[in-house]
Structure 1
Amino acid sequence: MSHTAHIPSHRKPRRGASKVAIRAGVAGGVLSTIAVAGAAGPANAAEPVTETIEMPTLTSGLAGAVAQSADATQRAALNFELSAQENAAAVKAAQAARKAKAEAERKAEAQRAEAKKKAEAAARAKAEATARASRTAERTTLAPTSTSSDSGSSSGTATTPKATTKASGSAGALIAFAQAQLGDAYVMGSTGPNAWDCSGLVQAAYRQIGVDLPRVSQDQSTAGTQVSLSNLQPGDILYWGGAGSAYHTAIYIGGGEFIGAQNPSSGVVQKSLDWDPPSGAVRVL
């Protein structure tokens, strides 16, 4: 027995003939393909085929999207700011327009009031002038009366009352007040203490004895009982114009005389009835 008989052999087992044939065939096919390619290679060497495929870069696309989003956000913010400014300007313009309208209306109202006041003053002056002119012819028929406030004489005509004695009591108090204002200025709408209009003086005189008269001549001409001009008593209210539509009032003080705030040129005066005959009279006391 050989001394190597117990050592296993390391040689690979032989492959089968079929496997060797198959592998030989495959190898031959591959070598044939390489040969063909090698033969065709020199003919196509002048025109190498190259193609580059560019893959999209994710990082650059993301940066562009972010930039577009930031730009859109900035434009939106700018549009919002412009819209806010436009709204604020519109509100400010509306407020200014309302203020201007209110101021214009106030001025227009003041102008209308002033125009009305002037128109009333002009109408009153015209009515007074017309009334005096219409009575000018009648004055020649009146008998002269005393110029004293205490006594006098008359012809007894219907429009000229007889002289009366010095008034006393309430009538004396209001007449004394009226006499104290002689020489004061006439200012339309004034009620003293140094300037009066006709009805303001009459109202103030009666207030001295606790009698509250209406403010204007129209109302004062109906404030008491209508009396005849031939039956006057001291303290009676004389009026010029119609009862309820009088444009002038004064106070009869007796003796055929009256005290009244006549006009801006005369002021508060004491005159006889024939100087400016009244239209009627009312008695309050």
Structure 2
Amino acid sequence: MSHTAHIRSHRKPRRNASTLAMRAGVAGGVLSTLAVAGASGSANAAEPVTQTLELPTLTADLATQAAQSADATEQAAAHYQLQAERDAAAAKAAKQAKADLAEAKKKAAEAKKKAQEEARQEAAARASRNAQRTTLSTTVGGDSTSTSTSTSTSTSTSTSTGTSTATGSAAAVISFVKAQVGKAYVSGASGPSAYDCSGLVQTAFKQIGVSLPRVSQDQSTAGTQVSLSNLQPGDILYWGSAGSAYHVAVYVGDGMFVGAQNPSTGVVERPLSYDPPTGAVRVL
């Protein structure tokens, strides 16, 4: 012991137990913290470090632009599709128009060929009639007389002695055929807008209840044979021989007849001198 220890004022103050305990606790706490930190550091050093990247978030402007771009792409696709459909339709229409034009040309050529053939046949028939009339045989007053006359002489005889006034049923027949003048000639037609020669005659007599055969050959023998010098209105004129006639018409009086002549003239009223007939029959 120090030689001054017994003096109170020279003694070192004693630390009380609570102070020492607190200091020990603090020190222990610090040491514990350091130990935990060290352990944690060691643990962290052992674990791999993972870095997380955050992608930028679309703003309202970017979203709007993306939507507009999508709309534009969709509209462009629709436009191209519509254009393709229009092109396909135009190509189809052009193909159909080409086919229609070819068909129209074909029909026109066929119609032209048919008209030319009918005109040729009509010319041949007219030439044949003219040849036959140079040796025309007529029946006068019930007697058969063979005469070789010219076309003009035959016509003059026919018109000089024929009756010109139509009465009764004959008047009705003549009124009907005159009403058809100007209508078309169509082979095989019996009206109302077109006729051939025998179709016009048959239809005219049908108006008054008289039934006639359909073709010229049969109509030329349907009634009583009469002389061209004794014609009456309503008589049926024929060209060629009886039973094999190739053309017929109706005598309407005053040296005139009405007939469906050919495709070029249609139904006409002409004088007997225009195309003198071979014979005539009377059914009224």
Q: Tell me the TM-score normalized by structure 2.
A: 0.50
Q: Tell me the TM-score normalized by structure 1.
A: 0.50
